C-alpha cells in the first residue's frame, strides 16, 4: 500500500494465467507481490493459480517489451527506462502468447513459418532484413514470396 497526498493507493501487479501447454490464457491485474501473501500460499502467483484454477500463474511487467524496460514520459510516450534491471520476463504477455518455463520469459506465437526467435529480445524476426531505406518503416511480410525466393518477402508499398 502507498499513501500519496493523503490517499491510500494500492499497488497493483499483472499476472498471466497459463495452461498446461504453457500458453497464456488470460492476463489479470492483481495485488502487488509486496503485499502479504494469503495463509497457505508461498506467493501471489501460487494464490492466483489456485484461486483462478490454472496450473500456473506468473507475474508480468506491463512496461517490458522485447526484453527492455520502458517508462512513460511527460507526453504519454513510452521511452527506454534508465534502469534496465526492471526488464522482466522478456515481454508483457497477451492471451495466446507462450510462456517459456526454461528461460522464464513470455513471447508471442511465431507469426510466419520462416521467422526466427531472437532470444536477445524474445520476439520473432524475419529471416531477411528490410530493404534499404525501409529499416524503420512498418512493412507487411509475404511468406509465400519468401518461400518462392528466399531473398524476397517484404512488401514495399507502391508510391
Rounded Cα gap, residues 38 and 31, in angstroms: 11
Q: Which three cell numbers stand for residue 14?
A: 499483472
Q: Which three cell numbers stand for residue 43?
A: 506467493
Q: What is the mean pLDDT of the chain?
A: 92
Q: 18-34 pLDDT, tens per residue?
A: 999 999 999 999 998 88
Contacts of 11 (CB under 8 A, 6+ apart): 1, 2, 32, 34, 35
The 3-state DSSP class for residue 44 equals: helix
| Domain residue ranges of the chain, discontinuous segments joined by + | 2-109
Q: 96-147 pLDDT, tens per residue?
A: 999 999 999 999 999 999 999 999 999 999 999 999 999 999 999 999 999 9
Residue 35 and residue 43 in contact, taking contact as beta carbons nearer than 8 Å: no
* Mean pLDDT, range 70-76, rounded to an integer: 92
pLDDT score, position 33 = 84
What residues form DSSP beta bridges with 13? 30
Residues in the chain: 159
pLDDT score, position 4 = 45
Rounded Cα gap, residues 135 and 96, in angstroms: 28
Residue 2 has pLDDT above 80, yes or no: no
Amino acid at each position: 500500500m502507498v499513501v500519496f497526498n493523503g490517499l491510500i493507493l494500492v499497488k497493483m501487479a499483472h499476472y498471466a494465467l497459463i495452461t498446461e501447454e504453457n500458453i497464456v490464457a488470460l492476463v489479470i491485474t492483481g495485488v502487488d507481490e509486496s503485499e502479504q501473501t494469503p495463509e497457505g500460499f508461498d506467493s501471489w502467483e501460487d494464490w492466483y493459480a489456485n484461486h483462478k484454477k490454472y496450473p500456473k500463474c506468473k507475474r508480468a511487467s506491463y512496461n517490458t517489451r522485447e526484453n527492455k524496460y520502458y517508462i512513460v514520459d511527460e507526453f504519454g510516450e513510452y521511452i527506454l527506462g534508465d534502469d534496465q534491471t526492471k526488464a522482466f520476463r522478456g515481454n508483457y504477455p497477451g492471451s495466446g502468447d507462450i510462456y517459456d518455463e526454461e528461460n522464464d520469459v513470455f513471447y508471442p506465437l511465431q507469426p510466419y513459418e520462416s521467422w526466427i526467435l531472437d532470444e536477445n529480445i524474445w520476439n520473432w524476426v524475419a529471416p531477411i532484413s528490410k530493404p534499404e531505406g525501409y529499416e524503420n518503416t512498418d512493412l507487411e511480410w509475404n511468406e509465400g514470396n519468401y518461400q518462392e525466393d528466399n531473398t524476397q518477402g517484404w512488401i514495399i508499398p507502391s508510391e
